[in-house]
Amino acid sequence: MKRNAFLLGAVSGLAVVGHTAGFFSRALAQAAPSTGDERVLVVVYFQGGNDGLNTVVPFGLPAYYSYRPSLAVARNDVLRLNATVGLNPVLAPFKKMYDAGQVAIVQGVGYPNPDYSHFRSTAIWETAAPDKYLSTGWLGRYLDAANLPAANLFNAIAVSDVLPEVLVADRVDVAAVAQLNGYGLTSDRNKTLGRDEFHSFVQGADVPFRSPYLALVASIEDHAQRGAEELPQLVAGYKPAGTYPATPFGRSLALAAQVIGSKLGTRVLYVQLGSFDTHTTQKATQDRLLGDFADGISAFYADLAAHGSEGRVLTMTFSDFGRRVAENGSRGTDHGSAAPVFVIGGGVKGGLYGEQPALDNLDNGNLRFTTDFRSVYATVLEKWLHRPPAGIVGPGFTQLPLLA
């Protein structure tokens, strides 16, 4: 059994709230102090499939209004970026960041022969493998290749309930912590089987089976609990300087800022926002979520700037897929293909990149992608994380000039 597969299964079997694939206490004792000047990548997942056409709006293409008689963003409301496209008006705080040169927008991002299943397409984006199945994520492979301190189990953190596939690695342990006060073991809080009782069970003579992994399960449980007690102390001294939305996404970004500002040596953070699966009554749901994103990212970078960290934190977005061009009969949109990707902060050269997909040359009602998502990944790997991309996402993907 592979090490990462065992750890995922073992922790899942213990009903963990806040997954850990490793031992926090050992990390605290052995990891070298961070200087706090390392580059950080924050990945924001738009869960459910965000509609790109109502995010970066092609108001200059008349067909957009023909395909979306009730869903289209009115021309006068669009926050214009050029004569053809602009941002949804709920993204006003984000538009200010764009105007300040902090945002690059890559248009028409997708991959050949798109899959319209949430599960498969998300796996494709997270593993960077449209034509095969891999057991590690593209950022997990980066972590394996980056020669990061082996004892530091804070090299990457997912601010989520479970470990996303994008951060699954072969040799690097990654923690998933949804919130500091909820990180621990369900058994401890419910008092159904405490740590002492579990250890007594593992060591007892009446255990109905023996396995070389049973002691490791107990060790994971023990260190997860100790880590849950110690992690909040590591970030307790951080004082946020931004006003975050009182939403799950806002709280996730606030925690990400705490981790970054507390100099734990974290290189990759994952947060998510959703659900964007807007088959019905799309406008209210998407506007709420995009507004949450804009307010959250604006507060996040204001917070980072107040602590002198905004230049070392790059944020990028991805989603399951885009949506179909035409609205459906329920004032929503169904699963589609290409959509924009945002790259924010860090060494970004702000502006528009790639080509807006045509609306008069559709693929069975869907947009034809104009930029392969692996080109975006390759750019981030080479220019931001300083790792050769070929061994992580594959060779031959043209990099984009969006990073200094």
One-letter identity of residue 48: G
pLDDT in tens, 221-272: 665 565 566 667 778 889 999 899 999 999 999 999 999 999 889 999 999 9
- What are the Cα distances from residue 174, in Å, to 129, 166, 194? 21, 11, 24
Q: What is the pLDDT of residue 367?
A: 98
**Which pLDDT score, from 0 to 100, does residue 12 have?**
37
Q: What is the pLDDT of residue 222?
A: 61
The rounded distance, in Å, linking the Cα atoms of 223 and 30 is 14
Q: At what angle do helices 248-261 and 282-306 cross, to 10 degrees?
A: 20
User: Which pTM value belongs to this model?
Assistant: 0.87
CA separation for the pair 88, 315 (Å, rounded): 20
Concatenating the DSSP letter of every residue in 160-224 gives: SSS--GGG--SS---EE-S-GGG-EEHHHHHTSS-HHHHHHHHHSTT-S---TTHHHHHHHHHHH
Whether the per-residue pLDDT at 33 is higher than 70: the answer is: no
* Token digits of residue 76: 């006068």
Token pair of 90, please?
Answer: 């709920």
Question: What's the mean per-residue pLDDT of the chain?
Answer: 87
DSSP letter (8 states) at residue 380: I
pLDDT for position 18:
38
Residue ranges and CATH numbers for the domains of the chain are: 34-184+239-393 (3.40.720)
- Residue 8's pLDDT is what? 42
Give the pLDDT of residue 173. 83
DSSP per-residue string spanning 228-248: HHHHHHHHTT----S---SSH
Tell me what pLDDT residue 381 has.
Answer: 98
**Range in 112-116, 171-175, 343-347, 375-379 the model is least confident about:** 171-175
DSSP state of 135: S
pLDDT band at 219 (very low <50, low <70, confident <90, very high): low
